[in-house]
Structure 1
Amino acid sequence: MHKLQAIIFAVLTAAPAAAHDAKPTAAQPNGWTYPFSCCSGFDCREIRDQAVVEGPRGYLIKLTGELIMSRDTRIKNSPDGQFHQCTVAGEATGRTICLFVPPRSF
């Protein structure tokens, strides 16, 4: 096979990248899928409520000290009412790509 044909074959047969699913909860018994814009298959996970402090300016991620302002487009509604965080390379200390939040308490 010529080099160009091999490249074309590799591109056409490569599996598309896909997001992964959040674990099932009482609110979402079948789980739900993280959007691809937030997750490339391993970047997202549920985090404990205690890991995030909600305040009038936004959400403080305790582990990193990162403040995500209330109107930041990285904030998404959580389909299951739990916090979920998607970070660069899936690292707990990585920069937040998306933060799924339960309904606001104030």
Structure 2
Amino acid sequence: MRAIFIVLLCGLPATVFAHYAPSGWEYPSSCCSNLDCREVGQTAISERPQGYTVEATGEVVPYGDRRVRISPDGEYHWCSAAGKDYGKTICLFVPPRAY
């Protein structure tokens, strides 16, 4: 029975398992395993000379880091390992800079 379920599961389109932001855009699969990403408030991320700081963990993600992405909806979104509040950053979506 389990083998049949797996075969059926493999035949489903990938969009069935897509993970969407609250505003409706899809998180890239490289950032997310259907549970790793979520929108966070503006106070959850701060900017320092070294880069973006994730307040929950103290982790600094340098500005030029490949994990930093421009947020399509202008909000902060944090993708962390297993979606944990203490997990390492997989991707960080930030609002576009206005300068």
In the TM superposition, residue 70 of structure 1 has moved relative to its aligned partner by 0.7
The RMSD of aligned alpha carbons is 2.1
- The TM-score normalised by the length of structure 2 is 0.83
Residue 37 in 1 paired to residue 36 in 2?
Answer: no
Q: Percent identity?
A: 46
In the TM superposition, residue 92 of structure 1 has moved relative to its aligned partner by 1.1
Q: Give distance in 1, aligned partners of 2:42 and 2:92.
A: 12
Report what 2:9 is aligned to.
14
**How many pairs were matched up?**
95
Q: Give distance in 2, aligned partners of 1:20 and 1:80.
A: 15
Q: Is residue 18–residue 36 contact of structure 1 (8 Å, CA) maintained in 2?
A: no
Regions of 4+ moved over 6 Å = none
In the TM superposition, residue 105 of structure 1 has moved relative to its aligned partner by 4.9
Query: Where do 1:1-106 residues align within 5 Å?
Result: 9=4, 11-15=6-10, 16=14, 18-24=17-23, 31-105=24-98
Task: List alignment gaps of at least 5 residues for structure 2.
Answer: none
**Letter of the 1:20 counterpart:** H
In the TM superposition, residue 103 of structure 1 has moved relative to its aligned partner by 1.1
In the TM superposition, residue 11 of structure 1 has moved relative to its aligned partner by 4.7
Q: Give distance in 2, aligned partners of 1:81 and 1:20.
A: 18
- The TM-score normalised by the length of structure 1 is 0.78
Residue 89 of structure 1 aligns to a residue whose secondary structure is: helix
Task: List alignment gaps of at least 5 residues for structure 1.
Answer: 1-5, 25-30
Indicate the structure (1 or 2) with the bigger Cα radius of gyration. 1
